[in-house]
Amino acid sequence: MPSFDVVSQVDLQEVDNAVNQARKEIGQRYDFKGADTEIDLDEAEIRVVSSDDYKVRAAVEVIESKLAKRGISLKSIVRGAVEPAAGGRSKQRLEIQRGISNEKGRAIVKSIKDAKLKVQAQIQEDQVRISGKKRDDLQAAIQVLKNSDFELPLQFINMRD
């Protein structure tokens, strides 16, 4: 029975490259002179700390532009609120979404069922497997998912006959 997996993956090496490019650009820009802006990358988040709210927002825009140039969908980045930090500074967290949460998985399964296609959808940990008897039905399911907005980037992998 043909099947494929719906996943939401982010290439962390490309994220690291984009963050390094953003650090370099911020270090060279005139409007960031003396601002002491820090950008830290953890496994699942990017932390930006700077002297004021404006500098934090500008640094986040630089990071997002670098991510977009490197092919990372901005849907996979969830912005936190700009918060006060120690020493009169400001900070913001950017969370990197990886995998499909249960609630998003249920929304994907529901949209497939609402399309009344002859396919079955199953949630498997952080991905959704869709299987059907005909390859054409699977391709129709892919189109349904591409036309829907689940607020995260979806990739379709492991197409099997």
CATH number at residue 120: 3.30.70.860
Band of pLDDT at residue 16, cut at 50, 70 and 90: very high
Band of pLDDT at residue 150, cut at 50, 70 and 90: confident
Q: Are residues 62 and 109 in the same domain?
A: no
Question: Which pLDDT tens digit goes with each residue over 44-74?
Answer: 899 999 988 899 999 999 999 999 999 999 9
Domain boundary (42, 74, 96) is at: 96
HEC readout, 130-152 = EEECCHHHHHHHHHHHHHCCCCC
In whole angstroms, what is the distance from residue 33 CA to residue 51 CA?
11
DSSP state of 116: T
| Mean model confidence pLDDT for the chain | 90
Q: Which of 24, 48, 151, 146 is nearest to 97 (CA)?
A: 151
Higher pLDDT among residues 32 and 60, named by residue: 60
Q: What is the pTM assigned to this prediction?
A: 0.84
Is a pLDDT exceeding 90 seen at residue 32? Answer: no
The boundaries of the domain holding residue 155 are: 3-8+100-160
In whole angstroms, what is the distance from residue 8 CA to residue 13 CA?
16
Q: What is the pLDDT of residue 45?
A: 92
Structural domains of the chain, count: 2
Per-residue CA distances from 19 to 26, 63, 81, 140 (Å)? 10, 6, 19, 37
Contacts of 8 (CB under 8 A, 6+ apart): 76, 97, 98, 99, 100, 104, 126, 152, 153, 154, 155
Q: Are residues 126 and 151 in the same domain?
A: yes
Question: Which pLDDT tens digit goes with each residue over 101-125?
Answer: 889 889 999 999 998 889 998 998 8
Q: Are residues 54 and 121 in the same domain?
A: no
Q: Are residues 82 and 156 in the same domain?
A: no
Is a pLDDT exceeding 90 seen at residue 40? Answer: yes
In whole angstroms, what is the distance from residue 2 CA to residue 130 CA?
9
In whole angstroms, what is the distance from residue 80 CA to residue 67 CA?
17
Name residue, tokens 């700390």.
Answer: 49
Is a pLDDT exceeding 90 seen at residue 33? Answer: no
Orientation angle between helical segments 135-147 and 102-114, nearest 10 degrees: 120
Is a pLDDT exceeding 90 seen at residue 93? Answer: yes
Q: Are residues 29 and 64 in the same domain?
A: yes
